[in-house]
Chain A
Amino acid sequence: MTLLLGASTVGLILALLALGVYLSFRIFNFPDITADGSITLGAAVTASLLILDWPPALATLAGFFAGMLAGTVTGLLNAKFRINGLLSGILVMTALYSINLHVMGKSNLPLLEETTLVTQSESFFGLLFGPGDVGVFGWEVNQRDAAALCLAGAMVAGVGMILYLFFRTEFGTAMRAAGDNPQMIRALGGSVDFILIFGLAVSNGLIALSGSLLAQYQGFADVQMGIGMVVWGLASVIIGEALVGSKSTGIVITGAIMGSLLFRLIVAIALRWGLDPNDLKLITAVFVFLALVVPGALAGLRSRAGRAR
């Protein structure tokens, strides 16, 4: 049960990453691998500020804004300096590695002694249900695990809702159009450059927020924690799309969250069955490769079969 709870919590926290990746990869069709750096940036900024005894909510918010800044730089490199999108992301991601080390001062910052959003929600739970384990559907659950799960769930639900509502505003609609058909939105008076920069800022802000929560949940920030995270987020988005099978924004947002949750659970179970953790990134990459190639290949086979008949 603890395993499932832990996996669900991480799945929900990484759902924020999936939403960020959805924004860059799916809305803008922009392969933004800044994510690998900005998830660590969020963790680093929040962790450093927590150690300076900042209130956890502010430290988390600061992590979000740091990510927005990173996304803005990637957007500027691409939109203003006309650097290829993939390269813009690589440049910022590489620069962020040094920046993250500077922010943290060393390669790993433990947070075990600090007050974090997780410890705060744990004490909140203590006030609500009294000390000791919490009963959930007949299971006795560690209070910290339950509190962290609720915190992550509330954050993801809130962010998902805001994102959904945002996409129905004038500016949000223009943002989707900028990804769908830039020529059209330009002809209707939208600055595609500005919209892209803003969109990448929000995307990386969400990814940094995910890193910030992850650091508070696992109790440390590590300069290596971002490696391969883009692929992880993309896998979640792809699973989500397969789950919901619709292009409608609200449903796809829900799908990405569900995808992240499901993916994390599958991984937790696979690890439990004896999967070597060192193989995890390889398997994730292969999975994304298959998810990208198989649908096309199947369609090709089907049309070939149709022609043969």
Chain B
Amino acid sequence: MLEVYGIGKTFHAGTPNEVFALRDVSFKLLEGSFLIIIGTNGSGKSTLLNAVAGTFSLDRGTVRVSGHNITKWPEHRRAKLIGRVFQNPYSGTAPNMTIAENLSMAARRGLPRGLAWAIPRTLRSELRDRVRTLNMGLEDRLDNDIGTLSGGQRQALTLLMASWLKPDLLLLDEHTAALDPKSADQVIRLTHEIIKRDKLTTLMVTHSMQQAVRLGDRLIMMHRGSILHDIQGAEKARARPEDLLQRFEDVRRREQLDAPVAEMLGKTYV
């Protein structure tokens, strides 16, 4: 379960480049639910995800995962509860290490790392079995450097790694945005399978309206660091890409109005 309460972040505060990246965002995500976050560029959707991951410290508010107040935890400590897949397919794996070595580290996510062998025999057969489920033929290439694989293959492995030990929360940051359409489809199918099989509580940022309607049971639309729409249940199930695009269009039109009017409208609208 994820609880985000009143979080705020201002980058470059007090300078001409001041950015209100997050303004008083609160929501609660129940165990096993799958939340999609969409929004325009600079709306704060990735910032929200990074706030939960712990990439930067918050100005205000609290973040709780499974009852732990993790607001002050450093990024690496949060890994005990959180699995992550990045937008850049090269960010989630160490290129000059083998597939087996990369996966072995995922098998110790958030656990202490000592002087035991990284890849004991028992783990090796488990690696093979679980990599085989990807259907990419990688189970025979476990000793190849992961840097020799394609972006799609690496992203699929990163997904496998993030969910190797069942995380309390899975964070997906536009994890198919940098892939070609075919690989993106493949990774999305895998995402869907893993989340459904392990009933993972998931927070996924995406720019694809198709993915936003097809996946997840709840949808949050961000704008200027705040939550603009929060769609759940039957309404989420009914949502079509055109509806979402229409809502973006509304936002755009509202932006073109005079600032005071926009602010007034904004207040009533939100």
B213 close to chain A: CB less than 8 A = no
In whole Å, how far is B46's beta carbon from the nearest beta carbon of chain A?
14
**Which residues of chain A come closer than 8 Å to B162, judged between CB atoms?**
187
In whole Å, how far is A199's beta carbon from the nearest beta carbon of chain B?
13
B86 close to chain A: CB less than 8 A = yes
A183 close to chain B: CB less than 8 A = yes
A169 and B79 contact, CB distance less than 8 A: no
Interface residues on A, range: 20 to 34
Interface SS of chain A:
helix
Q: Provided the pairs A188-B161, A190-B76 are in contact, do residues A169 and B116 lie with their beta carbons within 8 angstroms?
A: yes
Stretch of A14-22, A120-128, A170-178 lying at the B interface: A170-178
**Which residues of chain A come closer than 8 Å to B106, judged between CB atoms?**
188
Q: Provided the pairs A188-B79, A189-B80 are in contact, do residues A180 and B96 lie with their beta carbons within 8 angstroms?
A: yes
A166-198 contacts to B (CB < 8 Å): 166, 168-174, 176-177, 180-181, 183-192
Stretch of B13-21, B26-34, B97-105, B230-238 lying at the A interface: B97-105
CB-nearest residue of chain A relative to B54? A186
**Which residues of chain A come closer than 8 Å to B92, judged between CB atoms?**
184, 187
CB-nearest residue of chain B relative to A175? B113
B77 close to chain A: CB less than 8 A = yes
B189 close to chain A: CB less than 8 A = no
In whole Å, how far is B56's beta carbon from the nearest beta carbon of chain A?
13
Q: In the bound complex, what is the Cα–Cα distance between A247 and B109 (angstroms)? A: 26
Interface SS of chain B:
loop
A170 and B114 contact, CB distance less than 8 A: yes
Which listed residue, B77, B97, B115, touches A169 by the CB 8 Å rule? B115
A247 and B96 contact, CB distance less than 8 A: yes
**Which residues of chain A come closer than 8 Å to B83, judged between CB atoms?**
187
B199 close to chain A: CB less than 8 A = no
Which listed residue, A173, A180, A189, A247, touches B79 by the CB 8 Å rule? A189
Which listed residue, A173, A190, A191, A247, touches B118 by the CB 8 Å rule? A173
Which listed residue, B76, B91, B109, touches A181 by the CB 8 Å rule? B91
**Which residues of chain B come closer than 8 Å to A247, judged between CB atoms?**
96, 145
Chain B window 70-93, contacts with chain A (Cβ cutoff 8 Å), 1 for yes, 0 for no? 000011110110011010000111
16 additional A-B residue pairs with CB within 8 Å, beyond A187-B53, A187-B84, A191-B74? A169-B115, A169-B117, A170-B118, A171-B113, A173-B113, A176-B94, A181-B93, A185-B105, A186-B76, A187-B83, A188-B79, A188-B105, A188-B109, A189-B79, A189-B108, A189-B111
